[in-house]
Amino acid sequence: MTDAAPSPFAAPAADHDALEMGTALTPRFGADGLVTAVVIDRASRDVVMLAHMNADALAKTIATGIATYWSRSRGALWVKGETSGNRQLVRRLRVDCDQDAVVLEVDVEGHGASCHRGFHSCFYREVAIGAPLGTPLAFVETDPAFDPAAVYGSACGHDHGSGAD
């Protein structure tokens, strides 16, 4: 569960038509206080990241144009790229029909990488469709844009509880 600060957003409409066809931003945060955020690189159109936002993170992102998320592992707000220099500058923010997920279209500063492993995308491996379960994942990106050890001080760049982004 995220911090208990009051939401800067109005409560979602009970009327589905008002929620889904209206013009008011009234995010439907889950029981954990979060909405899902899908992040797309504006130039390549690649999905580069999946993250979560609480009301404060969403409000800060809208106000600043810099992607801010809620880190479930750290239990804190997290400005993407604050450590690595690969900030995500939000150029467009879309909300889905029932307002429980958002899509951020971003330009990535620095190395252009959104993954803490140094890759352009966090989705740098793929599953072979139709292959037997247990088939190894295939790398679709093989050359990281930066060395996580040089940026974060560890080879993985993230322990799902540190300050690394």
What is the H or E stretch that residue 88 is in?
A: strand 88-95
pLDDT at 159 over 80: no
Is 64 part of any domain?
yes
138, 128 Cβ separation under 8 angstroms: yes
Is 128 part of any domain?
yes
What is the residue range of 33's domain? 16-152
For 70-120, write each residue's pLDDT tens digit. Answer: 999 999 999 999 999 999 999 999 999 999 999 999 999 999 999 999 999
Could you count the other beta carbons within 10 Å of the beta carbon of residue 8? 12
Q: How far apart are CA 110 and CA 116, in angstroms?
A: 13
Is 130 part of any domain?
yes
CATH number for the domain spanning 139: value is 3.10.20.810
40, 113 Cβ separation under 8 angstroms: no
Is 11 part of any domain?
no
Structure tokens belonging to residue 158:
């993230």
- The number of domains in the chain is 1
Is 159 part of any domain?
no
Quick one: pLDDT band at residue 3, thresholds 50, 70, 90?
Answer: low
CA angle 28, 108, 40 (to 5 degrees): 45
Is 9 part of any domain?
no
For 28-60, write each residue's pLDDT tens digit. Answer: 999 999 999 999 999 999 999 999 999 999 999
Is 160 part of any domain?
no
